[in-house]
Amino acid sequence: MTLNQAAAERRFNPEAGVGPSGRFAPIARPDLSFTAEVREATAPVYEKVKHFIPEIEWAVLAPMIHAINKLKKERNAVILAHNYMTPDIYHGVADIVGDSLQLAIEATRTDADVIVQCGVHFMAETSKILSPEKTVLIPDMKAGCSLAESITGADVRALRERNPGIPIITYVNTSADVKAECDICCTSSNALQVVESFGVDKVFLIPDKYLAANVGNKTDVEVLVWDGACEVHERFTAQELRDYRQIEPDVKIIAHPECPPEVVAEADFAGSTAHMIDWVKTKRPAKVMMITECSMADNVASETPGVSYIRPCNLCPHMKRITLSKILDTLLEMKEEVIVDPAIAEKARTAVERMINLNS
């Protein structure tokens, strides 16, 4: 029996019981002892994270990693994890890691029955929009985003009414309702390309006013903004970066484009989380400062020996809601399922697929 057949049987066999998602039987909690088998199976992961996770903590995390990796097979599930996940998730249980664009593309490619989205809610919604037939789970339904919360579908309708004929591009960090009202989606990886794809002289790029301003600085297209911001990146200041350079004159500073433009102007490079990682892997600076969420440097450090990371960073409280123990519960109990109204999903899919098609 293939994994897919086994999963289908579990889902539709009434004898198997019905889990909270309505289709899956819950699985009993496994023994979480740090046995010799667990130690051996997780040793390659520990090699990557040992600089951040003390052995005493590993004894608690390793059994969860081992159990999650077994459960993924039983559930025919794939874990899509954003680059801001902690190293135990990023190196221990993720099948695919990446920025928002990469995760959206991978959601269309996987043949797993179940996607466990380790990231924030809009990312899980994007996966559901692209794969309506799949079960999409998020380990914590409260993992939100200040950008997604800054705008509603009704706001976009009003914006369009006041500005007829101007294309509205939505950053992927928005709800399905908002995506459904917009012409196309973008991520920080492709925002400039999307803005220029219309061939017009004026577009809206909502809701991140800083991303919009940073893109506007690179193009002749007038980029109109919405007054939203990322609560993590807006806290960095240009003065802070200048101060760091005084202390560490040879440091390379790379920033996420959700930072204010004056911060981006002080940086040596700005790009999406994936582009930031690629930049460090390619350029191999002796010292680097990643002006973004804290887990980025931890995750990339084990893959870039010889690079030393200077770590001013800000934690995203929403991303940090996702933990190994919640991922374990997610796969055991098949909760919490992300549902998108099919009519909204269909409209939102058009916006997301237009973006993906631009990249292919």
Task: Give the CA diameter of the chain.
Answer: 68
Q: Do 194 and 168 touch, CB atoms closer than 8 A? A: no
Closer Cβ to ligand SF4, 53 or 232, answer by number: 232
CB atoms within 10 A of CB 57: 12
Closer Cβ to ligand SF4, 71 or 294, answer by number: 294
CA distance 145 to 164: 28
Q: Do 285 and 267 touch, CB atoms closer than 8 A? A: no
Closer Cβ to ligand 13P, 67 or 169, answer by number: 169
Using CB under 6 A as the binding rule, whether residue 188 contacts ligand 13P is answered as yes
- Taking CB under 6 A as the criterion, the residue among 126, 173, 175, 214 binding ligand 13P is 173
Residues 220-239 that bind ligand SF4 (CB under 6 A): 230-232
Among ligand 13P, ligand SF4, none, what binds residue 100 when CB lies within 5 to 8 Å by partner kind?
ligand 13P
* Minimum distance of ligand 13P from residue 189's CB (angstroms): 6
Residue spans of beta strands (DSSP E) within the chain: 77-82, 96-98, 114-118, 135-137, 168-171, 184-186, 202-206, 222-225, 252-255, 269-270, 287-291, 308-310
- Taking CB under 6 A as the criterion, the residue among 140, 258, 298, 337 binding ligand 13P is 258
CA distance 289 to 300: 12
The one-letter amino acid at 113 = D
Among ligand SF4, ligand 13P, none, what binds residue 188 when CB lies within 5 to 8 Å by partner kind?
ligand 13P
Using CB under 6 A as the binding rule, whether residue 230 contacts ligand 13P is answered as yes
* Minimum distance of ligand SF4 from residue 120's CB (angstroms): 5
Residues 118-147: x/- map of binding to ligand SF4 (CB under 6 A)?
Answer: --x------------------------xxx
CA distance 7 to 79: 16
Closer Cβ to ligand SF4, 124 or 334, answer by number: 124
CA distance 38 to 40: 5
Using CB under 6 A, list all residues that contact ligand SF4. Answer: 120, 145-147, 173, 230-232, 258, 293, 316, 318-319
